[in-house]
Amino acid sequence: MAAAQGMISTAVAVRMPFGSTKSNLKRFYVGQRFKNGMGRMSISSTVKSMSNNNNAETLQESQDSRGPSYIWSDKQRPRVCILGGGFGGLYTALRLESLVWTDNKKPQVVLIDKSENFVFKPLMYELLSGEVEPWEIAPAFKDLLANTGVLFVKDSVKIIQPNGPGEVLPGGNVQLESGLNIEYDWLVLALGSEAKLDVAPGALEYALPFSTLDDAQRTDQALKKLERARFGKSSLPIEVAIVGCGYSGVELAATIAERLQDRGTVTAINVDANICPTGLPGNREAALKVISERNVQLLLGFYVNCVRKPADADESDNQAKFILDLQPAQRGIDSKSIEADLILWTVGAKSLLPQLESFDYGKRLPLTSRGQAEIDETLQVKGHPRIFALGDSAALRDNGGRLLPATAQVAFQQADFAGWNIWAAINGRPLLPFRFQNLGEMMTLGMNDAAVTPGFIEGLTLEGPIAHTARKLVYLARLPTDEHRLKVGISWLAKSTIDSIALLQGSISKVLSSS
């Protein structure tokens, strides 16, 4: 209960315009005003209501046998609950806001995320190179949603409980970690995925994943610590091992090798005989060219069998290197062990849906072996017409029967359809089938380098600074909300102007000193 209150005050504070945090806290009684989706009546009905002065979206809480329940401010308008505020969830909320609704149909929308910030993951590498600031790629939900009717609740989703066919209401209930219950008419599942480190012994203990903002910040801290300890004092190079050479592993290898320069080496390990095996050939070639010019050693055709500390190292010894035992993927090649100061793990991802508990086995969602919800082409979960799923939480096949990749590009495009299809469902209109448009693939290769292969011009791959600028511009356009885009655009413009002036000054002083 205390946790629920803490969460509520945070959520109310975020609805305050102009940074005010004053809230009106009232207590009143509503008797049997609430009936939940399971047909149970509220019993002890002390209701806490918090609201701010100009806001229709208030977060109120009632207590019943199930625990505290969120009171939607309007009894008539549809209630949409969005779980996860990443590319799928946040952009669905913004899409719902942008559509035209008749007044009594406009849904009340609650967005729940365990983090305070949306994270634009494709730009996380730039946190390691110092090219972007955390606020640019991870803006707070409270700022992004400040001028919308969407209520943000910072909490972790614990249980989803869809109502069955025989029950009074067709929606269901979501229970949060704090104990708060939220009933919904329409649910959007967009909880994303996380790194899968439990595949090799020791990886969970000694390797760092790179899939959340926290991971990126921990990696940056670990690098800074090594840089402080080694630079200037010792000639011992910093050794970084990167497990996996998909896009993520290669982008990390290029970025970190550029950061360390000749003060460190990066070893990138891949079970496949190639880097970016599922990527576009143009990008792969551009990446190979770049990393061959940096201190990157590729160990292809190996998988990591185990990660450990040396036998004679004390567990508390933070200085000792880690050891990665590698097995060849093919016969006839010797296994080997390598040492590293820092191990980054980019292999494997697991959907976060299976972590949700379900009250009733019969109402569980259909999940694939990867833990993604099986959806049809309208993005509705099979057998659950009131639940939409998208992004990394959802499994959808293209016309050729291949699963759509777990990418921001897919989630971003699906959000458009999820928003539209919720509108259509509420308005009794036909739902649209989602068709993925592959717009191409982009990868960063460092501070002034990238590879961009557009999907609409065959055989073209942009490389170097042009690709770097093109990628940043595409991502700038994809950032959420006009206001945030503008702020980031100004910030990037200012930085590139300063960089250009510094470059010009450097060139002028070189010319002057040589003359």
Ligand X SMILES: Cc1cc2nc3c(=O)[nH]c(=O)nc-3n(C[C@H](O)[C@H](O)[C@H](O)COP(=O)(O)OP(=O)(O)OC[C@H]3O[C@@H](n4cnc5c(N)ncnc54)[C@H](O)[C@@H]3O)c2cc1C
406 binds ligand X (CB under 6 A): yes
Closest CB 197 distance from ligand X, rounded Å: 13
Residue 316's H or E segment, with its range, is none
Which of 156/491 has CB closer to ligand X? 156
Q: Whole-angstrom Cα distance, residue 363 to residue 361?
A: 5
Q: Whole-angstrom Cα distance, residue 181 to residue 115?
A: 18
162 binds ligand X (CB under 6 A): no
Q: Whole-angstrom Cα distance, residue 103 to residue 423?
A: 13
Closest CB 193 distance from ligand X, rounded Å: 6
The residue sitting closest to ligand X, measured at its beta carbon, is: 86
Compute, in degrees rounded to 10, the torsion defined by CA atoms 302, 308, 311, 315: 170
SS3 137: helix
Q: Which one among 211, 219, 270, 421 touches ligand X, defined by CB under 6 A?
A: 211
348 binds ligand X (CB under 6 A): no
How far CA 194 is from CA of 203, 355, 369, 396, 403, in Å, comes to: 14, 11, 15, 19, 18
Enumerate the β-bridge partners of residue 130. none
CA angle 48, 49, 53 (to 5 degrees): 160
192 binds ligand X (CB under 6 A): yes
151 binds ligand X (CB under 6 A): no
480 binds ligand X (CB under 6 A): no
Which of 81/238 has CB closer to ligand X? 81
SS3 209: strand
- Determine the interface stretch with ligand X among 128-136, 142-150, 332-340, 404-412 (rule: CB under 6 A): 404-412
Closest CB 124 distance from ligand X, rounded Å: 5
- Determine the interface stretch with ligand X among 43-51, 109-117, 145-153, 482-490 (rule: CB under 6 A): 109-117
87 binds ligand X (CB under 6 A): yes
Q: Whole-angstrom Cα distance, residue 240 to residue 150?
A: 43
DSSP secondary structure letters along 26-91: EEEE-TT--B-TTSPBPSS-EEEEEE-TT-S--EEEEEETTEEEEEPS-SSS-EEEEE--SHHHHH
Tokens of 35: 């009936």
Q: Whole-angstrom Cα distance, residue 56 to residue 46?
A: 21
SS3 20: coil
User: Could you say which residues in the range 171-190 bind ligand X, by CB under 6 A?
Assistant: 190
Tokens of 304: 């990591």
Q: Whole-angstrom Cα distance, residue 391 to residue 415?
A: 8
Closest CB 432 distance from ligand X, rounded Å: 20
449 binds ligand X (CB under 6 A): no
Q: Which one among 88, 162, 279, 440 touches ligand X, defined by CB under 6 A?
A: 88
Closest CB 410 distance from ligand X, rounded Å: 7
Which of 15/121 has CB closer to ligand X? 121
Closest CA to 146 of 192, 189, 94, 101: 94
Which of 127/271 has CB closer to ligand X? 127
122 binds ligand X (CB under 6 A): yes
CB 176 within 8 A of CB 156: yes
370 binds ligand X (CB under 6 A): no
Which of 326/352 has CB closer to ligand X? 352
Which of 260/404 has CB closer to ligand X? 404
Closest CB 119 distance from ligand X, rounded Å: 6
Buried b (16+ CB within 10 A) or exposed e, 180-216: bbbbbbbbbbbbbbbbbbeebebbeebbbbbbbbebb
Closest CB 294 distance from ligand X, rounded Å: 19
Q: Which one among 352, 422, 445, 450 touches ligand X, defined by CB under 6 A?
A: 352
Which of 301/405 has CB closer to ligand X? 405
Q: Which one among 37, 86, 264, 282 touches ligand X, defined by CB under 6 A?
A: 86
Tokens of 299: 């160990």
Closest CB 281 distance from ligand X, rounded Å: 17
Tokens of 430: 């036909």
- Determine the interface stretch with ligand X among 116-124, 132-140, 166-174, 282-290 (rule: CB under 6 A): 116-124
Which of 268/326 has CB closer to ligand X? 268
Enumerate the β-bridge partners of residue 264. 238
By CB under 6 A, name the binding residues for ligand X. 84-89, 112-115, 121-122, 124, 156-157, 190-192, 210-211, 248, 352, 391-393, 406-409, 411
